[in-house]
Chain A
């Protein structure tokens, strides 16, 4: 569905990352992991066709993404940005309806059917009651769910989420994460593909996803979560000592050691990129 081959990504003449290849097919979930500044966002923008690759190619549905119109891309990839406040107080349902744009004509307006699709997307995430609320006054977690609902209303086979839990508090994070986990599983079963960038390695275990572990703009490791995410690789990538443990309930969790014994491995470089 989406395939990137030997990408060099960056702005203008400045390369931020290189040698990046990935592939997401129907039913696949790919998690992008890596410290801040490793080029995740730039890679995302390139995969969405918002930024031309400096070299290499992004194939969407078999054709280069750069040769496709924005509407064609939007019918194939639905993008969930990090929650934000728009400058005007739109109703939540209006924000969700904006996901229908690529399905309307140039001068089209969303109609009754679009509204039904938007509302069912909201119901699916348990936020149908927010439909007529002012989006700009919702909590961060609610906004994030509205944006996910918008992506669902877009009805694209590929769902791309950029650190959907990054700016949320503990409770909202857990709530949104639960929704995403269920959604990604259901979406994958329906034959959708999902690309998710995250700061939380535990999440990739919960999703049993493919992982692309990035460091300094290159692929550090790639493969299934169980194989790739070991204490060793995580320690290398994040520059702190990490252990991966299995809880009594069988969940895999990644634990950075917070004790004083970890200080020697904490380099100033890791701090500046953190």
Chain B
């Protein structure tokens, strides 16, 4: 029994401590991020403004500018990391990112079409969201019509095909767009940014992300079993098709919601689950919350850099690539634990 108890308790306690520690760090980071900016605030001023007792100017900066931005960064980072972790488990491949099934390409096309038609911001966001969902829906539909033994590979390949098509359509719209007015907006959107974010932008995305996270959290054990491959998961008692569909739908909902909000932000969903896996192993029940926390913190740091390191806003996608790419190479060079 002694052995049973250690095996039972040992992996859980550190994970709880780690999750708690990460959550605390995240709160600290968020507080610091609220302080930093062109109109710098002291910790005291920030605290007072948060409690609604600061001076008017500080309160406007905190509540109308900084908090929506910090909140959006946390939401986008958490969502992309959660979706990335899910897709990696589902496709049994640690090199998979949330846009594997074309969600980013579809959302990109949706947004670019919206900008091209000079739609208002909210309509562009809806168009991006719909574009992302439709692209993945189309991928799963086409893949289900192909009677091939390897469902996963079929899905990935169709995802590549649909992604390329959406990319081509996006390029066509870029060529046709007004080079002075629309093209910069398109380019900026395709690189991702939270520069113009307001509370009204975040509010619709928040429940969508939450709705997407629920099935992922509930299916956490089955997602582990799915990563053994279709045949074995079925032999272990899982209705693979149904479960996979639910995971894909949830992860796509999450990704499309935040992509509509922030534009195409790469690398987060690819790199963050690796770091989380190094810390707590591949068990999805632990991987999901830790990925969410690290993803949120990571994007918060990157976004704070994006709005402070230069006179102009640096697009998020550029920073996540500049930080993510070398980090990824380091991960590969470092070796096995965490991703093999």
Contact = CB atoms under 8 A, between A and B. Distances in A.
Contacts, number: 102
Contacts of B219: 106-107
B228 A89 contact: no
Interface in B202-253: 218-222, 224-225, 227-228, 231-232, 234-240
Given A50-B231, A86-B228, A88-B282, A154 B8 contact: no
Interface of A: 11-12, 45, 48, 50, 69-71, 73-75, 77, 79, 81, 86-91, 93-94, 98-99, 101-102, 104, 106-110, 112, 115-116, 119, 128, 131-132, 134, 136-137, 154
Contacts of A154: 236
Tier of interface size on chain B: 35 or more
Interface string B296-325: 000000000000000000000000000000
A102 B94 contact: no
Interface of B: 3-4, 7-8, 10-11, 89, 92-94, 147, 149, 218-222, 224-225, 227-228, 231-232, 234-240, 277, 281-283, 285, 336-340
Nearest to B95: A87
Contacts of B218: 106-107
A108 B239 contact: no
B235 A90 contact: no
B41 to A, nearest CB: 43
27 contacts: A12-B147, A50-B234, A69-B239, A70-B234, A70-B239, A71-B239, A73-B235, A77-B235, A86-B228, A88-B89, A88-B227, A88-B339, A88-B340, A89-B336, A90-B281, A98-B228, A101-B222, A101-B225, A101-B237, A104-B221, A106-B218, A106-B219, A106-B222, A112-B8, A115-B4, A119-B7, A136-B340
Contact of B283 (A71, A75, A90, A106): A90
Given A119-B4, A119-B7, A132-B7, A70 B238 contact: yes
B84 to A, nearest CB: 14
Nearest to A150: B236
A183 B228 CA distance: 25
Q: Say what secondary structure dominates the interface of chain A.
A: mixed
Contacts of A132: 7, 10-11
A166 B94 CA distance: 28
A128 B337 contact: no
A155 to B, nearest CB: 12
A73 B239 CA distance: 11
A125 B338 CA distance: 28
Contacts of B92: 86-87
Nearest to A69: B239
B291 to A, nearest CB: 13
Contacts of A108: 221
B221 A110 contact: yes
B225 A91 contact: no
Nearest to A94: B283
A12 B149 CA distance: 10
Contacts of B222: 101, 106
Contacts of A11: 149
Contacts of A110: 221
Contacts of A101: 221-222, 225, 236-238
Nearest to A147: B232
Nearest to B92: A87
A102 B231 contact: no
Contacts of B339: 88
B224 A98 contact: yes
A79 B93 contact: no
A41 to B, nearest CB: 11
A148 to B, nearest CB: 14
